[in-house]
Amino acid sequence: MRKHNTALTRFGRKVKGSYQSYGLGVKLAAVVILGLCFVFIWSVFSPPSYSVAYQRDTFDDIREPISSANKKKVTSLVPSTKKEQPHNKKLRHRSSSVEKKKSVDRSKSGSWHKNEKSGGVRKRKGEDLKLPKKVDEIKNQDLVGSEENEEEKMENDKQQEEKKVVENDSKQEEGGVDGKENEKEKTENGEEGVEGKENEKEETESDKEEGGEGTVDGNEGNGELANTDDLKVEDEDEKSRVDGKKKKNLGPLFDPNAHYTWNLCSTRSKHNYIPCIDFESASGKLQNYRHHERSCPRAPQMCLVPLPPDGYETPVSWPESKSKILYKNVAHPKLEAFVKKGSWIMESGEYLTFPTNQSIPKGGIQHYLDFIEEMAPDIEWGKNIRVVLDIGCKDSSFGASLLEKDVLALTLGLKDDLVDLAQVALERGFPAVVTPFGTRRFSFPSGVFDAIHCSDCRASWHSNGGKHLIEMNRILRPGGYFILSSKHNTIEVEEAMSTLTASICWNILADKTDEISDIRIKLFQKPQANDMYQMRRKKVPPLCKENENPDASWYVPIKSCLYTIPESIEQRGTEWPEEWPKRLETFPDWMNNREKLIADSEHWKAIVDNSYLVGLGIDWSKIRNVMDMKAINGGFAAALAQKKVWVMNVIPVHAPNTLPVIFERGLIGMYHDWCEAFGTYPRSYDLLHADHLFSRLKNRCKHPIVIVVEMDRILRPGGWGIIRDKVEILDPLGKILRSLHWEIRMTFTKDKEGILCAQKTMWRP
């Protein structure tokens, strides 16, 4: 009996333990099921503004954190990496969807600057001259119909398209990778200057204030701009923050009560100093003068570049400057040694001369060009070939000879051009810029050059995975030509180039050696259709993702991928432009609002013919190198096409991407952020034109006066500045120019708009 009871007791314990074990499992399962039900019900019925997707798509609170005290945006002076990532998510031209949304907000704004509310129209009398009669006759069309209004119209017409882009941008992830790579690269090299950071941080505030001009920012700081990747935000809290920022009083662009004192720069490059490219240190310990990548000083550049040690004189006028220039104006230690060895450049008294019968290609440059045309009969200089990029600056004979054939060749002086031959080219009156060619893209849009020329340009095309040649493929027009000439190449280099060009589907049209010059010339052509890419056995390099912006260029790393060739007639690049000069006034189907583009051209032609050429007192026979600091469609440059000048059209990186339109018309230009120094030598330009540049850039730079300092650096003594802007900008700007000893030649104002014409003098502190 006891044994039986003992067995029952043991059995009962087992049953109880098993029940307790299963009971715990049932309880846990019930808790999990209830939790999942709660999450599901919460996600369905909770407001969308608290969703995870919304928080992930919105970065305004990261770019400009909200203070818990007053709920206002607080801008950090040194943004963290976390804050910069979304801002640089599309650190390339024309890719910021958040700025596209801002353009819509700005179009609803009633005023551009706070002091316009003061009422009353301020007018200012001429400083040194009475208003010319011609200017008075056209004052209405000259001031009221500025490109600023045209830019606003362009944005309004594009708003519907931009909404679609906003939706696509919110899905893009690749842009964030680019931004992180770019930010990391700049941080490691110590290259991110104060101006660039402030430009990025204050862009939102500037856009809210500048309701008059809608823009799409896409790259750093200037978006060319600065970008976040979002947004489809319609949150009430976000709207209240935007409205609050619109009401914030940002103050005038320039302090009207400020007094300026100037000092000369003390840098190693001295009178040839190029900020962001040359080392600013005056120490002689460094072997190199220039950065491997663009790297701007951390502090604002507030000093003035000195004149050459032997003084400076008015340059030789065009076209005489093609054959001789003043030696003292381009003095450089290494240039002296180069002149002694060179055959195409000679010292003759106070001049440097360039004999017409001497050039680097033996047999003459004309024979060299004729030989290229014989190799490829489809190449017709000055007709179907109008815009050419010449990599590496030497004797300038290539660009000079092409200019006589109505070909506009832009020369790139690479960073190791320590002899400063690009400066010699500019002094002679030929288009040239200076830029490093390392890991970043050139500041050009995609598919714009008709041909690219490299004659012993020292570029290692096959190294580093062929990234440099892939960059040439990006900016070369579909069906465009790449001309490579050299005297001696190793077998290894030849094989590597052959493999690389085949991988990117370039067709080799000709490979010949000229018996007279003993130069071997290879002529490649970029494909005009995508079927070549699909037929490759090895998809290396791969095709770029569809959501990547091929025009992204400002501080954007070179990508080892190929962009697809446009196929639809509505896309740019499907057809070759008209022959020059018909090309200048032809607007293809891919250009939106062709009627407005035609009206814009007529508008600027009237201003140039009736005002600039006759009413400002400028001697245009002494004007050769011209820059339009805020070009839109190239109307100003097109109006000067019949004059003996060339125009560098600069598209600020925060502005709408109209640079492809400029190249399509057979003109040249670059993207640039005016909070940084332009890639050119001091005293490069004879005339600077700025149409509403300052009001559009309001508060995009921490110190906007750096733009004026840069204008003083790149303008030649005796050169002219034509500035069209708001009266509230021109008044203090005139004071700054007087402190620099510029002579104000003419001012005119009407309805809060005005024009200022000033001439730089020889003065240095």
d(CA 154, CA 145): 14
Residue 138: helix, strand or coil by DSSP?
coil
- Residue 80 identity (one-letter amino acid): S
Q: Do the domain assignments include residue 368?
A: yes
Residue 484: helix, strand or coil by DSSP?
strand
Q: Do the domain assignments include residue 158?
A: no
What pLDDT is recorded for position 288?
Answer: 54
- Residue 3 identity (one-letter amino acid): K
Are 632 and 655 contacting, i.e. CB atoms less than 8 angstroms apart?
Answer: yes
The continuous run of DSSP H or E covering 472 comes out as helix 467-475
- DSSP string for residues in 365-378: HHHHHHHHHHH-TT
What pLDDT is recorded for position 250?
Answer: 61
What pLDDT is recorded for position 191?
Answer: 38
Q: Are residues 380 and 529 in the same domain?
A: yes
What pLDDT is recorded for position 168?
Answer: 46
Q: Do the domain assignments include residue 478?
A: yes
User: Of 75, 132, 432, which is closest to residue 248 (Cα–Cα)?
Assistant: 75
How many CB atoms are located within 10 Å of the residue 489 CB?
15
CA geometry: angle 113, 215, 99, nearest 5 deg:
100
- Residue 609 identity (one-letter amino acid): D
Q: Are residues 491 and 632 in the same domain?
A: no
* C-alpha Rg value of the chain to the nearest Å: 30
pLDDT tens profile 274-294: 999 887 664 545 445 566 788
Q: Are residues 416 and 520 in the same domain?
A: yes
Q: Do the domain assignments include residue 577?
A: no
Q: Do the domain assignments include residue 142?
A: no
Q: Is the model's pLDDT at 5 over the cut of 70?
A: no
Residues with Cβ within 8 Å of 177's Cβ and at least 6 positions away in sequence, in order, are: none
Q: Exposure of 390 by Cβ count < 10 A (0-12 exposed, 13-18 middle, 19+ buried)?
A: buried
pLDDT (mean) for 465-490 = 93
Q: Are residues 544 and 464 in the same domain?
A: yes
Q: Are residues 555 and 587 in the same domain?
A: no
Residues with Cβ within 8 Å of 536's Cβ and at least 6 positions away in sequence, in order, are: 503, 505
- Continuous H helices in 110-173: 133-137, 139, 147-157, 159-169
Q: Do the domain assignments include residue 615?
A: yes
Packed helices 705-714 and 727-739: angle between N→C axes, nearest 10 degrees: 50
Question: 333 lies in which domain range?
Answer: 309-357
pLDDT (mean) for 195-201 = 41
- Confidence grade of residue 611 (pLDDT, cut at 50, 70, 90): very high
**Beta-bridge mates of residue 538:** none
Q: Do the domain assignments include residue 14?
A: no
Final residue before a domain boundary, out of 357, 373, 397: 357
Are 627 and 693 contacting, i.e. CB atoms less than 8 angstroms apart?
Answer: no
* Domains held by the chain: number: 3
d(CA 522, CA 688): 39
Q: Exposure of 105 by Cβ count < 10 A (0-12 exposed, 13-18 middle, 19+ buried)?
A: middle
Are 624 and 318 contacting, i.e. CB atoms less than 8 angstroms apart?
Answer: yes
Q: Is the model's pLDDT at 390 over the cut of 80?
A: yes
Q: Are residues 297 and 422 in the same domain?
A: no
Whether omega for the bond prior to residue 48 falls within 30 degrees of 0, making it cis, is no
Residues with Cβ within 8 Å of 597's Cβ and at least 6 positions away in sequence, in order, are: 587, 591, 633, 661
What pLDDT is recorded for position 696?
Answer: 82
Q: Are residues 380 and 465 in the same domain?
A: yes
d(CA 87, CA 221): 9
What share of the chain has pLDDT > 90, as a percent?
48
Q: Are residues 382 and 426 in the same domain?
A: yes
pLDDT tens profile 329-358: 998 877 888 888 777 889 999 999 998 776
Which range has the worst mean pLDDT, 140-154, 391-405, 745-759? Answer: 140-154
User: Who wins on pLDDT, 68 or 428?
Assistant: 428
Per-residue exposure over 523-538, b if at least 16 CB sit within 10 Å of its own CB, e if not? bbbbbbebeebeebee
**Beta-bridge mates of residue 543:** 562
List the structure tokens of 81: 């990496």
Q: Do the domain assignments include residue 662?
A: yes
Q: Exposure of 670 by Cβ count < 10 A (0-12 exposed, 13-18 middle, 19+ buried)?
A: buried
Q: Strands 346-348, 351-353: parallel, antiparallel or unpaired by DSSP?
A: antiparallel
What pLDDT is recorded for position 9?
Answer: 62
What is the rounded end-to-end Cα distance, in angstroms, of the chain? 121
Residue 719 maps to which CATH number? 3.40.50.150
Phi and psi for 695 in degrees, rounded to 5? -65, -30
What pLDDT is recorded for position 229?
Answer: 31
Final residue before a domain boundary, out of 494, 529, 564: 564
Residues with Cβ within 8 Å of 476's Cβ and at least 6 positions away in sequence, in order, are: 447, 449, 451, 452, 482, 526
Final residue before a domain boundary, out of 318, 341, 357: 357
List the structure tokens of 513: 């050696």
Dmax (CA) for the chain in angstroms is: 135
Which range has the worst mean pLDDT, 101-110, 368-377, 548-557, 718-727? Answer: 101-110
Which range has the worst mean pLDDT, 239-243, 422-426, 586-590? Answer: 239-243
- Confidence grade of residue 166 (pLDDT, cut at 50, 70, 90): very low
Q: How many residues does the chain have?
A: 765
Are 716 and 709 contacting, i.e. CB atoms less than 8 angstroms apart?
Answer: no
Q: Are residues 430 and 507 in the same domain?
A: yes
Q: Are residues 657 and 514 in the same domain?
A: no
Are 422 and 434 contacting, i.e. CB atoms less than 8 angstroms apart?
Answer: yes
Q: Are residues 644 and 663 in the same domain?
A: yes
d(CA 56, CA 90): 16
Q: Are residues 515 and 456 in the same domain?
A: yes
What CA–CA distances, in Å, run from 383 to 123, 375, 411, 658?
48, 17, 20, 23
- Give the distance, in angstroms, between the CA of residue 557 and the centroid of all CA atoms in the same chain: 14
List the structure tokens of 206: 């500037």
